[in-house]
Structure 1
């Protein structure tokens, strides 16, 4: 029985970090899940490297987990990508300390996994032992930015395009693509028919609305788009989509890699983040006389993102493989500029059209990948956009060419600079930006910087091939 067809997730988008759990609702959900054959509920959360961590409880223990939480170490805040522990940030100097993991999206956010019979999934949040907000909880960082937007009379929608590659499940180095075929061609999907049909069915049954799925540019590389939603729901769905893809791949003898650059010969995987901002339900990126039809506030949102793009990218594409992916001519945001439907741009403006309507207008952030915690990624994007609306930085003219083909003098004349291409440069971009640092806050910022430094130290002195192999299946 494909349990997800009768009980699917309905994320609430709840931004409260103080409301108590819906005990009766979780009890009813646990009974309904048990009736569908679910025996365990996995509660997962992403760390500061985009790596998912989790706990699984028996289904009958779900109400207790929602009420009292599940004990986890405070040190998950300072796990690096390869599971090393970095002691040092405030309160994380020693192995002592415990916090509680609780379901984050309410009873309806607990969804039976169509691809993993007997198990259900819920996004989680980490709270203190007393049930209060934990300063290292990344979900809370996004909740604060969503609240700040609301206080300004604004709402944000976000959607992800997830790129990933499928490899044969063996130890060959470099990895062997699961299938070959022309880029963007149906022959690639024919070779993956069983996987594709299962994945689409599982995503549907798991409550993840899909816009499209297609073969991408690289060998056995696919892209999946998830429908736009409020930021918390978008991040929650991204986590669930990732688990669904992994399960479908393994069921067909493949391994899915979301790594920003799985190998030196691969195209690289972005998790392109699309956002729009609205006031009273009206999209500010359309309906005006500004660039690409944006309103003055919409242009200011875009200008804020552009002003802070180096620091934003240090959070939205923060890994060692992220900077290695950042190559001109690869649609990977090598330079910090914006353009209208320009796929080389770090910020690609997607304007409204007569066919799609005014509500479709959005900004695509290309410098975004699986090494990012989705809650932090969305938080810094919203923070940069809100700061732009608040203080109106100048928005330069769009660039419709590839600055990678220009001379250094031409780029300098247009004020186009390369995004950071080393971990050290990323760290400096974040350190030097007070707005993005303030979005992260003291505690999350300290932990984030610590794990970034640990990853950089691991990569230092190793060959690119060895580094990419070490990170290939971590996400």
Structure 2
């Protein structure tokens, strides 16, 4: 196997060098959703394909500010090393950075054995387990981000919107149409299938959607899409924020996850405006809904996430309900239709953003949904209204309540849910909680706007 990998590395290195590529960037996402990487010279690829490149094991406990949260099991000291191995079948020459190629990486122990803290492997295990039970899944992302002018003074914290709206208008994109065109060209060249790109609701906000694909590929492509957008922004003198809430005055950036579960070629979510047509699809909705408070601790885990989850902002601020095409619901059922076909149906998770590790988020989401199918769960009736406009007693009577609103509340919901914690395993869970606590301790008595400003460009 090693010699096969080495030979494949030689072939890829020769092809990349012939195209003028000098470096391969190997990327992964940490427990804050922040992409990390190593870039290796292309001639080193034959060896790197076999043995990877060394990185500190402590990346598992880097917090959002790049501080190291020592103390969780396996992360007590600075002594240790792991290997970052590129996924050769995912190597992509970057259209916006033509001297570089990109690949997602897998973290393994120093001897090449599985490493408990590797998030990509967590998702792969869940996908393999689903396949063994006869299931496959499709996942697509909607990615919102803010586009801003580069400040002439690096110390200037004022945000200058690169477009001023109107929301969803073609007029809004005119000031940045060269940037948008570059994103579309580069995405296509990088193998990303865009569904659409448009001006979103918030000032300076843009959204792009990625076509649905298998879960591991979807997570990989989410990271590649970030690199693609950031390179286009840099080339056009712009700055992009993927942060859940760049500023309190903004609408916030959700990275909505659209998922569907399939068995024997059939979409179990298939249905119309009445909801999924079968009990399995209803069970998937019910399973995700049941675990939503714990799930949100992985899919929207940062302090910025918590600040974004406000009623009236299509952010999924409440748990305990779902809706058909209800954009205030944390779970929005997107039905099929005569035009698109019933198999177009999917479930959109609103409580999701860039601070989530995409591999862990999808692993937990699919685990929750499939558990609902296997247990024949039945969801409550869908809600078509905005519960944020209801009286508190009315929400309580309907079983609708606010999602956990602090790091401590999120942790409590997560550790109380063995289905979701079981996805991570004890060691990875410990590291994940360590960085969440570190972020909360750093924020301390700081004003929310100061915290948001510090993390505006981190993702």
TM range (shorter): over 0.9
- Following superposition, the deviation at residue 209 of structure 1 comes to 0.6
| Alignment match, 2:128 | 147
1:147-167 CA deviation, whole Å, 9 max, x = no partner? 121121110110000000011
Q: Which SS does the other structure have where 1:25 is aligned?
A: helix
1:343-389 CA deviation, whole Å, 9 max, x = no partner? 00000000111111122110000000000000000000011012111
TM-score for both structures, normalised by structure 2: 0.97
Q: 1:411 aligns with which of 373, 395, 398?
A: 395
1:418-449 CA deviation, whole Å, 9 max, x = no partner? 11111111111101111101111111111100
Q: Which SS does the other structure have where 2:401 is aligned?
A: coil
Distance in 2, matches of 1:22 and 1:395, equals 48
| Alignment match, 2:257 | 273
Q: Which SS does the other structure have where 1:412 is aligned?
A: helix
Question: Cα gap change, 1:335/1:21 in structure 2, threshold over 3 Å: closer, same or farther?
Answer: farther
- Following superposition, the deviation at residue 328 of structure 1 comes to 0.2
Matched, 1:349 2:333: yes
1:21-100 superposed matches below 5 A: 22-100=5-83
Q: 1:330 aligns with which of 305, 308, 313?
A: 313
Distance in 1, matches of 2:419 and 2:226, equals 30
TM-score for both structures, normalised by structure 1: 0.94
| Alignment match, 2:444 | 460
Distance in 2, matches of 1:114 and 1:70, equals 24
1:447-475 CA deviation, whole Å, 9 max, x = no partner? 10000000111112001111000110000
Q: Which runs of 5+ in 2 are unaligned?
A: none
Q: 2:139 aligns with which of 158, 161, 174?
A: 158
1:400-426 CA deviation, whole Å, 9 max, x = no partner? 000000001110111111111111111
Distance in 2, matches of 1:130 and 1:237, equals 28
Distance in 1, matches of 2:202 and 2:2, equals 46
1:118-129 superposed matches below 5 A: 118-129=99-110
- Following superposition, the deviation at residue 25 of structure 1 comes to 2.2
Q: 2:162 aligns with which of 168, 175, 178?
A: 178
Distance in 2, matches of 1:21 and 1:46, equals 27
Distance in 1, matches of 2:148 and 2:5, equals 42
CA contact (8 A) 2:276 2:282 kept: no
- Following superposition, the deviation at residue 174 of structure 1 comes to 3.7
| Alignment match, 1:138 | 119
Distance in 2, matches of 1:88 and 1:19, equals 35
| Alignment match, 1:113 | 94
CA contact (8 A) 1:174 1:263 kept: no
Q: Which SS does the other structure have where 1:446 is aligned?
A: helix
| Alignment match, 1:469 | 453
Matched, 1:362 2:346: yes
| Alignment match, 2:276 | 293
Aligned-residue CA RMSD in angstroms?
A: 1.4
Distance in 2, matches of 1:37 and 1:138, equals 32
- Following superposition, the deviation at residue 23 of structure 1 comes to 2.8
Q: Which SS does the other structure have where 1:264 is aligned?
A: coil
Q: 1:213 aligns with which of 190, 197, 201?
A: 197
Q: Indicate the larger mover: 388-397 or 212-221.
A: 388-397
Q: Which SS does the other structure have where 2:7 is aligned?
A: helix
Q: Give the number of aligned pairs.
A: 455
Distance in 1, matches of 2:131 and 2:274, equals 25
CA contact (8 A) 1:21 1:66 kept: no
Q: Which SS does the other structure have where 2:221 is aligned?
A: helix
| Alignment match, 1:194 | 178
Matched, 1:375 2:359: yes
Q: Which SS does the other structure have where 1:237 is aligned?
A: helix
Q: Which SS does the other structure have where 1:200 is aligned?
A: helix
Distance in 2, matches of 1:269 and 1:229, equals 22
| Alignment match, 2:429 | 445
Question: Cα gap change, 1:19/1:411 in structure 2, threshold over 3 Å: closer, same or farther?
Answer: farther
CA contact (8 A) 1:326 1:334 kept: yes
Q: Which runs of 5+ in 1 are unaligned?
A: 1-17
CA contact (8 A) 2:165 2:199 kept: no
- Following superposition, the deviation at residue 207 of structure 1 comes to 0.6
CA contact (8 A) 2:130 2:136 kept: yes
